[in-house]
Amino acid sequence: MNNKNEHTEWREKHNLGRIVGEISQGRGRNFWVGVFAIFLFIFCSLFLAAVLGIDAGNQDQLKVLHDFEYKGSANFPYPTCSIGGIGPSNSSETALVDLAFLSTLAYLKPGVTQESLNDWFGNNTVIDLVDTVDEFRNEYEAANVKGAVSYKLFDFSSKDFQVVAIRGTSNAIDAFADAQLWSSAILAQFVRAILPLGDLWNPILRHLVKGVAILQSSSLKEVAFYVQTTAFVNELKKNGANIMLTGHSLGGGLATITGAQTKSPALAISGPNSMISRDTFKPKLEEKDINQFTFNVIPDRDPVPMIDDRPQNFQRVSCRARLNDPFSCHFATRTLCELLYTCGTGTGTQMRPALCICHDKYGYPKPTTTGNRTYEDACKT
């Protein structure tokens, strides 16, 4: 009788253990499948948003208004409107709005960039050095992997410095080729978010990301777009040039990577960050160089600057888009309009034009006329 009871008890325990095991394994498996599915969806959405359709930049020249102005905020404008330390000490061409404008020029169609520079800064004040870029690309890509990164070089000859404006990717295939730069950092952020007291893991997150990055193929690393832009800046600096970098979205992320690697000031507009992923680049980024040489302008509700942890230097700006339209906060021209409206268009020799797009597309108040035209006459199509 005892043997029979023991056998029955053992069988019941066995069945119970099997049932519990199946439930826990099934739930665990489904949970982690769900976690990685959500991660993959978020990552792909953010990256595609950064390069496809979300204001890939205005492909045509912006319509400027020289006889209209924004006075700027009557209360507190952004403290970085006249950004200091990002450029040479004798330069007056380092206003935040100027760098934001230059970041949009990386998206312009060929043939209109110089005209846009003339409209913004004055005739031949800043020169688009197309031949310099083309010459370097041809030599570099003849000896290395051909890349799809797009960038321009602007020469402020009277101020003795040059600005590299990086566009980043030009299509979805290129976006996924470069997605490996931040994929492990996004995963680390997601894991931190679901763990209790997740911020306690901050000191080791970059080591986790580095471990994940080791699994990436060497071929992917070779086509990472920052490799070419870093080589370009190093070549310019070898020849004595004083370099700054800028870019929007992925181009901004590439600008800050290259800036930290080459120890050159770099300002990103809505760029992904690199504090967690800094050990995955080659050469790796030093935290002190990220904090010393990089700056990120982060619009409210913009999803792309949520990638990776922010650097020491950043500026949050308002996004006046509808609450149900956060991806609109990523628009390069929307951020440019926010800076023009809040910082002002300037005065005297540093006066910049207003833009029709700010009111017509983004709903900012009409700029004030300084001449005889009405806004409707100036901005009619």
* φ, ψ of residue 19 in degrees (nearest 5): -65, -45
| pLDDT for the residue 52 | 47
| pLDDT for the residue 129 | 97
Q: Collapsing DSSP states into helix, strand and coil, what is residue 185?
A: helix
| Pairing status of strand 68-69 against strand 294-299 | unpaired
| pLDDT for the residue 353 | 96
Sole residue written with tokens 């319509």: 63
Comparing 155-159, 212-216, 317-321, 336-340, the range with the smallest average pLDDT is 212-216
| pLDDT for the residue 222 | 57
Structure tokens given for 224: 């990472």
- Could you read off the pLDDT of 82-95 as tens digits, one per residue? 886 665 545 555 68
| pLDDT for the residue 137 | 95
| pLDDT for the residue 206 | 59
- Could you read off the pLDDT of 42-73 as tens digits, one per residue? 555 555 554 444 444 456 789 999 999 999 98
- Could you read off the pLDDT of 291-349 as tens digits, one per residue? 999 999 999 999 889 988 899 999 999 999 998 887 899 999 999 999 999 999 987 66
Percent of the chain with pLDDT over 70: 67
Q: Tell me whether residue 235 is exposed, middle or buried, using C-beta atoms within 10 angstroms of its C-beta: 0 to 12, 13 to 18, 19 or more.
A: middle
Is the pLDDT at 39 greater than 70, yes or no?
A: no
Tell me the pLDDT of the chain averaged across its residues.
Answer: 81
Q: How far apart are CA 167 and CA 64, in angstroms?
A: 22
Q: How far apart are CA 144 and CA 137, in angstroms?
A: 10
Task: Say if residues 243 and 162 touch (Cβ distance below 8 Å).
Answer: yes
Q: How far apart are CA 15 and CA 121, in angstroms?
A: 79
| pLDDT for the residue 74 | 78
| pLDDT for the residue 145 | 78
Give domain limits for the chain: 9-379
| pLDDT for the residue 223 | 55
Confidence grade of residue 23 (pLDDT, cut at 50, 70, 90): very low
| pLDDT for the residue 288 | 97
